[in-house]
Structure 1
Amino acid sequence: MADSDDPTTAAAQAVHRRYEGLLMVRTKALKGKGAWYWSHLEPLLLKNSDTGFPKAVKLRCSLCDAVFSASNPSRTASEHLKRGTCPNFNSPSKNTLVSISPVSRKRAADSDGGDSFYDIPPLTVVDPSGIYGGSFSPFQSHQPHQQQPLLMLSGGKEDLGALAMLENSVKKLRTPRTSPGVSLNKDQIDSALDFLTDWVFESPGSVSLSSLEHPKFRAFLNQVGLPSISSRDFATVRLNSKYEIAKADVHLKITDAMFFQIASSGWQPQNQEDKTMVHIALNLPNGTTLYRKTLIVGSSVPCRFAEEVLWDTVLNICGSSKEKCVGIVADKFKGKALRSLENQHQWLVNLPCQFQAFNSLVKDFTRKLPLFKKVAENCKRVAHFFNFESHIRTIFHKYQLQECGHTCLITLPTAESEEIGAMTLFGMVEDMLESAPAMQLARLDEVFKMTLIEDPTAREISHLVGNSEFWNEVEAVHCLIKFIKDMAQEIEIEKPLVAQCLPLWEELREKAKDWCKKFHISEESVEKIVSRRFKKNYHPAWAAAFVLDPLYLIRNNSGKYLPPFKRLTTEQEKDVDRLITRLVVREEAHIALMELMKWRTEGLDQVYARAVQMKEKDPVTGKLRAANPQSSRLVWETYLTEFKSLRKVAVRLIFLHATSCGFKSNGNFERMVCSYGSSRAAIEGVKKLVFISAHSKLEKGNLCSNGNNNDNNDDIELFAAVNSEDDLPSEADGSSSL
């Protein structure tokens, strides 16, 4: 007997155990207790021609005689059978567990009645273990392959039991198992499908309707006791039903509101080549926002077109009572659409979006501040050197992995762009600061030093990277963009009212001054850029709402709470008078100005002022906020009744939003619109989806002021949290082994 410790013998034993295991699995599968594909795959034991020992196990397809590796039968079945690689897989003559010879039909008349019958030859069942020689010991001498005798069934009555068992096994293989005991009544099924419908439609384009008919999803529904659903039913009956319900809810709330403001966003597309969606919503005095409609527009929209769309929206909602719409807040147009509408209808207050204004300010600095241009050019040179010089990149990535825990290229603008965009510049300087330690270590590497001797460009880059002034300028640019971006993000989340515009720009100026002092930058050039952007976005309603909102009253030495007129410029004070005069009827103009003077000298009773200015800490952000944001308007409506004309202006101004930020699409709807092209029915379906999703998001956002419309951020945070908690190799980077 061979030594069991011999490596060759041990390997042969392992191969034979693998072969016997596969035979056992296949035998169970043929009895209905295993995977379906074993009816088509047969284990083969290959032997070494010299020693006679088993050397490998293979799988043979019984349909086409192809031979495969036996390492992963499931994958073999999926790739060879399911994907259609096997030419005979769908052939009815070979896609069965038993082989039945063709039936020849004969017609005869017997002596009893002459009924027709079929002459069926005997059924042949093959013993799989016999085909491959049965059991085998690796220590026996190599024997030629001999086929075992075939077991023949007569086809008589005594074989009916075996055929019934065989048919039952086939049914078990082909029929998915259902979970026993799961039984839902009609109400439970309807409720479950209604919840599923809400989830599909309220997920902003993330769930495809066609995925509802995915076989795995259908199997899941069957497992939990729910019937199969039709994506066509979702795209027609259920979509229309949910749309009508949401539309009716919006109509009811608009009818109950005393007045409203239109918010319109999306007129400035990011990609100038694709179609974009314009979202139009309504802001109500009670702080809620309602979605109105979606507009599909091209990359270039004339100012006149936007004006017509916005005014048509007003007429469709208000009819003859146009004064119910007190204003519009929208992206700032290159033309004068908002200002033109305001001039035609004196009761309107049309505001530019402050979120867009702060983002535009970052672009202003990128284009007009010399420091930004200098840093952009220097960072581009450094990034190109470390990204695209192969031997330098290898050194850089070695130290980047050591210092940062990962390797990546430094952000660079695309080749098509002539100038670096604000966000691209921010990403580039952020990557530079993060990779600074790795760059400093790379400069000390011996291979890097050898490069400096022969390459003058490398010497220039090395000198630049080693210069502290360069890094100070990079940090300055990063710091300025970051605090403006942070303010813009806070504006998008908080959705400030119009009275908060002046304080926001004052806060921006203070931060800009501190930045200039920290990095030794000329305040004059920075202030010039900020002032230019401020003037482009300024509206007299900023100043008027600021002095009329009790939230900003200032307590003087005598204990009175007076409006902050001292914080306005002379021109802004005149703007307040002019705006109030315009917003009231001509007969009440002088009365409104007299009441404004009274408000300026007397202010508000300190009890009410303290109640309005009462603040509480936000549990999410930790910031102090007004305990009752609606109290400013309610004071004018219920307490300051002696200001008969001025209060009409105040209650309308105070609730106006300063941003058009409402429903924010994550891009899925835009991609759907672009893919559907000119299909009108498909576009209308997408619009209904947008309406339902936006209505749900805004309704939830009204309950939570910090609601985030971008669900993808939650996924990113989840993946980051999971990867930080589980110290496991990732299959995505190829680090796992089979």
Structure 2
Amino acid sequence: MAGTNVGASVESGSAEELTAKTVQKRYEGLLMVRNKAIKGKGAWYWAHLEPLLVHNTETGHPKAVKLRCSLCDAVFSASNPSRTASEHLKRGTCPNFNSAAKPISSVSPSTVSASASASGAVVVVSSSPSPSLSPSLVHPNHRKRNTSPSGSYAPTRFGSGLLTHQPHLMLSGGKEDLGALAMLEDSVKKLKSPKASPGPTLTKTQIDSAVDYLADWVYESCGSVSFSSLEHPKFRAFLSQVGLPTVFPRELMGGRLDVRFEEVKVESEARIRDAMFFQIASDGWKWKGKSYYGESDERLVNLSVNLPNGTSLYRRALFVTASAPSKYAEEVFWETITGICGNLVQQCVGIVADKFKAKALKNLENQNHWMVNLSCQYQGFNSLIKDFAKELPLFRTVTENCLKLATFVNYRSQVRNSFHKFQLQEYGHTWLLRVPFRDFQDFNFGPVYTMLEDTLSSVRALQLVLMDDPFKMVSIEDQNAREIGDMIRDVGFWNDLEAVHTLVKLVKDMANEIESERPLVGQCLPLWDELRAKVKDWCSKFHIAEGAVEKLIERRFNKNYHPAWAAAYILDPLYLVRDTSGRYLPPFKYLTPEQEKDVDKLITRLVSRDEAHIALMELMKWRTEGLDPVYAQAVQMKERDPVTGKMRIANPQSSRLVWETYLTEFKSLGKVAVRLIFLHATSCGFKCNWSLWRWVCAHGHSRTALNKVQKLIFIAAHSKLERRDFSSDQDKDAELFSLANGEDDVLNDVLVDTSSV
């Protein structure tokens, strides 16, 4: 018995020490968060809440952490500081949070009644003969602290309010009378001070300017801000507070929208007229269909205009269905071109589009020898991921194994509970492994990639599940569970998973950079060379044969390749290479023999027959003489981007301007060069708000609605392209939330598994 008691005592002592360490760790974590907050790097409420360590009176060990309000000395649990702040400070429970008691008329009736109810406050009304009603909130704690020896209420100054020693008045209507009482006091004050100004006074010019800014914000948000939100009571209260009149949705949807649209349209057309030539960019043709993302059978196609000076202008939008033939796309492109330049169609020197039907681009190029029609490189890189997924056995094996693992862990309750337990222990939160639809192979690889990421990020929890009793019990009877266990223990499974994930991420990162950087056509060959080099390193790292992967890359390269890639690469001074003599020469040595022939063929096609031989002679001169070193260095000069930190070309327009102003002896070749160099290699542009797009699809038969939305899209797109903002509001919000780790994440790192303390 004595031995048993000693053992129990030892266990009790060790448990208490463990608890004490946990509590101490939590207390130190709260102190760390509070110190950061006081320095301006955390939540506002830490200025009023102080962590308090409570000790066991018998052993002296820490046993709990509390939060003390520095304003009223109240003590609370430390399990959720944010909730404590909301309930104690924001909702008015703390009597000292606002330094001065406010008259009821200055607070909304709902707030007063809610605060009074939550805090246990009573309403005291002065019974003096003065016609002014001066109700104030009195907290019970202050009643106790400010009583005279006789027990009656003593007059006490609390901020600027005077709390009288009159007993509180019972109102016959109960708490609902507080609102009426506040309205009565407001009426009295208005009668006593009729000249009092209700708010700021703005001039008519200021009001008109403010409403114009508001309208532009709504238009340029293009559906992210709904017109009906202008009728929200809080928004109208805001307008009134700053001295602005009520703005009605119909006002913004009517003549004001038409005027703004015409302004933007006139400005856009003037810029196009000033340019010698332009390129059409079109995205939205790349069809996903009714897929994992729940898209409908209609898509919005956007067409914009790229100018030689680097700017882009929105042109039009239209809705197409999945069954739209290649001929229809061809007609849309040609109508857009003639709509811009009429019979002077040679002003349009090319089209870049996501690959809907390559035949449409090819037909237009064959019919108009001066045009260069390209497929979007962003789509080309994304399509390469689909090639890997379909044709590399490694991808299929890893995908099937992860699908099997995720399905087992998600849908076996004993295993799922164990998995969540270890997720919480290792990462501080729980999640299911996201699983794509069964027919995911027919669509993009995005859902599968998400499943791979979830599996990789859960590796430690999955390994711990194998050692847990629930999994061991399931494994005794279930052959599938034993196979899953063997898979998780297999180092080869995790190596293959990491290999697939790394390759997809490599290509996705390059595709995302293409989307954001929007490279020109001369950059296409270097981009694919960069991809080949990175994939070669990947094969070496994961001991994978290069042959099958390289074959898929070359096949996709050939599908996207255009002779203009090689020609622009040769003619752009940006890519000139310095030789041993100090001259800067075009990089012919990096081209294949077939690509060299492509350069000759393209140049002769883009000029008239009479100029073809002259252009080839000038090309030979360019190949042997190149560009003056000073001018070449000026074109290739780089500077560091203050936002991204990357080195960028200081003046991207220099390549074209050198041909127009310095290399004037190349009369025929120069005409080809200035047209090729500025061409964009991607069609990525304005991203429309999908909620607005879905609404238009649902009301597509309303001509008026469609006309309004077209104008909204045009205004919003013009604004975004002007700012070179190619992301959507949803993308920005997602990025904002991902960065908003705040203090709760700091607390999670410190307070894991301490919620019961």
Indicate whether the TM-score tops 0.5.
yes
Match among 376, 388, 395 for residue 399 of structure 2: 376
CA contact (8 A) 2:300 2:318 kept: yes
Indicate yes or no: 2:513 matched with 1:495.
Answer: no
Q: Which amino acid aligns with 1:561?
A: Y
Q: Could you say which residue in structure 2 is the equivalent of 1:223?
A: 241
2-structure distance, mates of 1:648, 1:517: 45
Q: Could you say which residue in structure 1 is the equivalent of 2:565?
A: 542
Q: Post-superposition shift, 1:623? A: 1.8
2-structure distance, mates of 1:173, 1:383: 68
Indicate yes or no: 2:540 matched with 1:517.
Answer: yes
Q: Could you say which residue in structure 2 is the equivalent of 1:291?
A: 314
CA-to-aligned-CA distance 1:475-531 (integer Å, 9 cap, x gap): 000000001000000000100000000000000111111111111111110011011
Q: Could you say which residue in structure 2 is the equivalent of 1:398?
A: 421
Match among 684, 688, 706 for residue 661 of structure 1: 684
Deviates more, 1:271-280 or 1:463-472: 271-280
Q: Could you say which residue in structure 1 is the equivalent of 2:697?
A: 674
Q: Could you say which residue in structure 2 is the equivalent of 1:81?
A: none
CA-to-aligned-CA distance 1:443-467 (integer Å, 9 cap, x gap): 1112222221121111000000110
Match among 206, 212, 218 for residue 200 of structure 1: 218
1-structure distance, mates of 2:360, 2:572: 28
Tell me the SS of whatever aligns to 1:531: helix
Structure 1 residues 592 and 167: alpha-carbon distance in aligned structure 2, compared to 1, 3 A threshold: closer
Q: Post-superposition shift, 1:365? A: 0.5
1-structure distance, mates of 2:190, 2:697: 41
CA contact (8 A) 1:267 1:301 kept: no
Q: Post-superposition shift, 1:374? A: 0.5
Give the TM-score of the pair, scaled to structure 1.
Answer: 0.75
Equivalence map 1:232-631=2 (5 Å): 232-272=250-290, 273-415=296-438, 417=440, 421-631=444-654
Structure 1 residues 560 and 165: alpha-carbon distance in aligned structure 2, compared to 1, 3 A threshold: closer
Tell me the SS of whatever aligns to 1:279: strand
CA-to-aligned-CA distance 1:180-210 (integer Å, 9 cap, x gap): 3411110110011011111111113200011
Q: Could you say which residue in structure 2 is the equivalent of 1:634?
A: 657
CA contact (8 A) 2:586 2:622 kept: yes
Structure 1 residues 427 and 247: alpha-carbon distance in aligned structure 2, compared to 1, 3 A threshold: same
2-structure distance, mates of 1:190, 1:286: 34
CA-to-aligned-CA distance 1:298-344 (integer Å, 9 cap, x gap): 23321100100101111111111111100000011335000000000
CA contact (8 A) 2:287 2:356 kept: no
CA contact (8 A) 2:440 2:447 kept: no
Structure 1 residues 622 and 184: alpha-carbon distance in aligned structure 2, compared to 1, 3 A threshold: same
Structure 1 residues 168 and 528: alpha-carbon distance in aligned structure 2, compared to 1, 3 A threshold: same
Tell me the SS of whatever aligns to 2:723: helix
Which consecutive unaligned segments of at least 5 residues does structure 1 have? 1-20, 22-28, 45-56, 58-126, 133-163, 702-706
2-structure distance, mates of 1:166, 1:263: 62
Structure 1 residues 523 and 31: alpha-carbon distance in aligned structure 2, compared to 1, 3 A threshold: closer
RMSD: 3.1
Q: Post-superposition shift, 1:384? A: 0.5
CA contact (8 A) 1:179 1:224 kept: no
2-structure distance, mates of 1:179, 1:711: 39
Q: Post-superposition shift, 1:174? A: 14
Structure 1 residues 324 and 450: alpha-carbon distance in aligned structure 2, compared to 1, 3 A threshold: same
Q: Could you say which residue in structure 2 is the equivalent of 1:688?
A: 711
CA-to-aligned-CA distance 1:58-94 (integer Å, 9 cap, x gap): xxxxxxxxxxxxxxxxxxxxxxxxxxxxxxxxxxxxx
Q: Post-superposition shift, 1:404? A: 2.0
Q: Which amino acid aligns with 1:598?
A: K
2-structure distance, mates of 1:275, 1:362: 25
2-structure distance, mates of 1:269, 1:332: 9
Structure 1 residues 33 and 692: alpha-carbon distance in aligned structure 2, compared to 1, 3 A threshold: closer
Equivalence map 1:68-79=2 (5 Å): none
CA contact (8 A) 1:204 1:668 kept: no
Structure 1 residues 569 and 31: alpha-carbon distance in aligned structure 2, compared to 1, 3 A threshold: closer
CA-to-aligned-CA distance 1:26-67 (integer Å, 9 cap, x gap): xxx9997876689999x99xxxxxxxxxxxx9xxxxxxxxxx
1-structure distance, mates of 2:740, 2:644: 24
Match among 184, 194, 202 for residue 184 of structure 1: 202
Structure 1 residues 489 and 168: alpha-carbon distance in aligned structure 2, compared to 1, 3 A threshold: same
CA-to-aligned-CA distance 1:88-113 (integer Å, 9 cap, x gap): xxxxxxxxxxxxxxxxxxxxxxxxxx
Q: Post-superposition shift, 1:725? A: 3.0
Q: Which amino acid aligns with 1:699?
A: E
Q: Post-superposition shift, 1:373? A: 0.5
CA contact (8 A) 2:570 2:588 kept: yes
Equivalence map 1:94-173=2 (5 Å): 168=184
Structure 1 residues 633 and 421: alpha-carbon distance in aligned structure 2, compared to 1, 3 A threshold: closer
2-structure distance, mates of 1:514, 1:627: 31
Structure 1 residues 213 and 601: alpha-carbon distance in aligned structure 2, compared to 1, 3 A threshold: same
Give the TM-score of the pair, scaled to structure 2.
Answer: 0.73
2-structure distance, mates of 1:427, 1:602: 52
1-structure distance, mates of 2:630, 2:110: 81
CA contact (8 A) 2:303 2:314 kept: yes
CA contact (8 A) 1:614 1:626 kept: yes
CA contact (8 A) 2:310 2:653 kept: yes
Tell me the SS of whatever aligns to 2:701: coil
The aligned length equals: 587
CA-to-aligned-CA distance 1:377-424 (integer Å, 9 cap, x gap): 100000011111011000001111112222111121124546574111
CA-to-aligned-CA distance 1:679-721 (integer Å, 9 cap, x gap): 11111111111100010011011xxxxx452223332343344
2-structure distance, mates of 1:179, 1:657: 58
Tell me the SS of whatever aligns to 2:667: coil
CA contact (8 A) 2:105 2:186 kept: yes
Q: Post-superposition shift, 1:669? A: 2.8
2-structure distance, mates of 1:529, 1:403: 39
Q: Which amino acid aligns with 1:262?
A: I
Q: Post-superposition shift, 1:173? A: 13
**Identity among equivalent pairs (%):** 58
Greater fraction of residues in helix: 2
Structure 1 residues 550 and 291: alpha-carbon distance in aligned structure 2, compared to 1, 3 A threshold: same
Q: Could you say which residue in structure 2 is the equivalent of 1:715?
A: 733
CA contact (8 A) 1:464 1:470 kept: yes
Q: Which amino acid aligns with 1:528?
A: K
Deviates more, 1:613-622 or 1:543-552: 613-622
Q: Which amino acid aligns with 2:314?
A: Y
Tell me the SS of whatever aligns to 2:620: helix
2-structure distance, mates of 1:655, 1:131: 76
Structure 1 residues 34 and 491: alpha-carbon distance in aligned structure 2, compared to 1, 3 A threshold: closer
1-structure distance, mates of 2:172, 2:628: 103
Structure 1 residues 179 and 287: alpha-carbon distance in aligned structure 2, compared to 1, 3 A threshold: farther
